[in-house]
Structure 1
Amino acid sequence: MTPAQAIGALDRQLAKHGQTVTLRKGNTTVGQAVVKAFVRGVTADDLTADITQTAKKVTLSPTGLDAFGLPGANTIVKHADGQGGIIGMPEIIRLNDIVVRINMVIKG
């Protein structure tokens, strides 16, 4: 699978089944990005001192993030059920050195 194929497959699934989220760098609306993402609850295996049952797993595509850039630890993710800051650093998945998926855990 090429990086373009992986991104295309994720983008198609997000378009069909994802929900709209807003990414913000800190507490500002300047330069925010509105993209589709999968937002899911965490499982019992995910729970740690920093990750509680109210945390959410968020998966998004790099598509639409050119101006925003990759989300970092100061990113706030606003979704249909509320909003939360990223716990730790996002997991950046690459194929052949190209970002194809971003996984992160957010508070509440």
Structure 2
Amino acid sequence: MTPAAAIAALNRQLALHGQDAVLRRSTWVGTTKTNFDVDVRITLRGYRPDELLGGITQGDSQVVLGPTEIAVAGWPDSMVDVPRAGDQIIAAGRTRSVIAAAPIHLGGELVRIDMQVRG
């Protein structure tokens, strides 16, 4: 499977089975906070009890996100195209903080992002 085919397959599945969300990164310049929001399509699920290992705690959730919306929107100030700890996901009326993000590459190209979120 090519990276483009993997991204297209993920985008189709997210369109069919995912939900709308907002990925937010906040930046500070002096005392002024600016939010940069990107509309994204995600899957969101809680972790099973047998997955509560390491830094994963009860109440954390897993988010799967494709790279398409982030690449199209373009993060400000040459920010990397992968969410990082401190970013937020706003979905289903709740704001969750990104604890960790695991980019998945195929053939050297980013095709999927798995995130652990809390809140």
TM-score surpassing 0.5? yes
SS in 1 for 2:9: helix
Which residue of the other structure, out of 35, 43, 52, is the alignment partner of 2:48? 43
Show the counterpart of 1:63: 68
CA contact (8 A) 1:51 1:107 kept: no
Q: Equivalent pairs: percent with the same residue?
A: 38
Residue 31 (1) aligns with residue 36 (2): yes
Amino acid in structure 1 at the alignment position of 2:44: V
Which residue of the other structure, out of 75, 87, 95, is the alignment partner of 1:75? 87
**Bigger Rg, structure 1 or 2:** 2
Question: What is the CA-CA distance between 1:75 and the residue it aligns to?
Answer: 0.7
CA contact (8 A) 1:71 1:90 kept: yes
Show the counterpart of 1:85: 97
SS in 1 for 2:36: coil
Larger helix proportion of the pair: 2
Larger strand proportion of the pair: 2
Query: 1:51-71: CA deviations, max 9, x gaps?
Result: 222111000000010213321
TM-score normalised by structure 1 residue count: 0.89
Amino acid in structure 2 at the alignment position of 1:104: M
Query: 1:66-104: CA deviations, max 9, x gaps?
Result: 2133211121111105121112x3010000110000001
Task: Give the CA RMSD over aligned residues.
Answer: 1.7
Show the counterpart of 1:104: 115
| Compared CA separation, residues 101 and 49, structure 1 to 2 (3 A) | closer
Unaligned runs of 5+ in 2: 28-32, 76-80
Question: What is the CA-CA distance between 1:47 and the residue it aligns to?
Answer: 1.4
